[in-house]
Amino acid sequence: MSKVTEREREERLAEKLTKGEKVISVDEMSQEYKEHLVHLMTMQADSELAGAYGYVPWIMKSPSIQETLTVSQIVKDEVRHGRVMYRLLEGLGFPVQDYYESHNFNLRVNEEDIGTQRAADDKRVNIFYYPIDTWYDFIMFNFCMDRGAGHQLEDAKDCSYKPWCDVMEGIFKEEAMHMAHGDFWVKKLAGDKATHDEAQEALNRWYPRTMNIFGRQNSPKNKIYRKLGLKKRDNEEVRQTFALEVKQRCQEFGLAVPDWKPVESKMLEEPFIPG
């Protein structure tokens, strides 16, 4: 039996994707497909784990025993999401343990704004380099970033790699719960004169940071992801859907959405897909 060439593999994969069929095994992947799939799934896995580490201090510093339990559950969810993604990567031959041991997912930066730049060589989206210093930051992270992640996950739920699709439904539901936690608290904090201004200040910090996660409009990499069925929409479409939802929520809660403008020369080409 003759060995399948890379060209033949690419042709078979293209035919499968044109029919809307899912990829199940490594044997069905072209080298291009596998490289982009590993890249995107590593971004999600690293972001899930780094996010969990950033939340950990708020298990001890949360304002009530109920919130201690809630934050603990959120941390557990995020670690589980990371582990689920790393297990998928293991199935693709990715050296997860070596990778885990060689990166510091607890690394944080002191800068107020790092734009779209990464601070280290892991693949987390850069919003996970910022420390969560106050309860307002924690809540606004839930409100903004978990909502942004949810919009990204909409694409991953029906991507062309079936094992990824199979795990995304459960991850998406848990991320929606984290976002609902943020909504509850933002409404509460924004509606109280004693805490309204601090809630607005936190929104002013985290909204622009979240807007930076989606990647730049008409990104060449995004076009490849869509060709391979790993993404469904252009980065800007996802960003604007997120921005509209935040605007509607803020109008309801009495907060003002801060201005945001992309820095095109520095805008990441690939967005975060995560949690």
Would you state the pLDDT for residue 100?
97
Three-class DSSP category at 42: helix
Q: Give the HSE-up count for residue 90: Cα atoms under 13 Å, Cβ half-sphere.
A: 10
Q: Residue ranges per domain, the chain?
A: 29-109+126-253
Per-residue confidence at 275, pLDDT binned at 50, 70, 90?
A: very low
pLDDT tens per residue, range 79-117: 999 999 999 999 999 999 999 999 999 999 988 888 878
Nearest 5°: phi and psi at 272? -80, 145
Considering the entire predicted model, what is its pTM? Answer: 0.92
Cα 22 from Cα 111, distance rounded (Å): 42
Cα 54 from Cα 128, distance rounded (Å): 7
The CA-CA-CA angle for residues 28, 13, 216, to 5°, reads 110
Would you state the pLDDT for residue 264?
58
Nearest CA-CA partner of 124 in 230, 266, 239, 272: 272
Is the sign of the CA dihedral 23, 25, 28, 30 positive or negative? Answer: positive
Fold of the CATH domain 29-109+126-253: Ferritin (1.20.1260)
Cα 128 from Cα 105, distance rounded (Å): 9
pLDDT tens per residue, range 191-201: 999 999 999 99
Both tokens assigned to 229: 């069925």
Q: Which amino acid is at 81?
A: H
Q: What is the overall mean pLDDT for the chain?
A: 92
**DSSP state, residue 131:** -
pLDDT tens per residue, range 118-176: 788 899 999 999 999 999 999 999 999 999 998 988 888 999 999 999 999 899 999 99
How many CB atoms are located within 10 Å of the residue 36 CB? Answer: 20
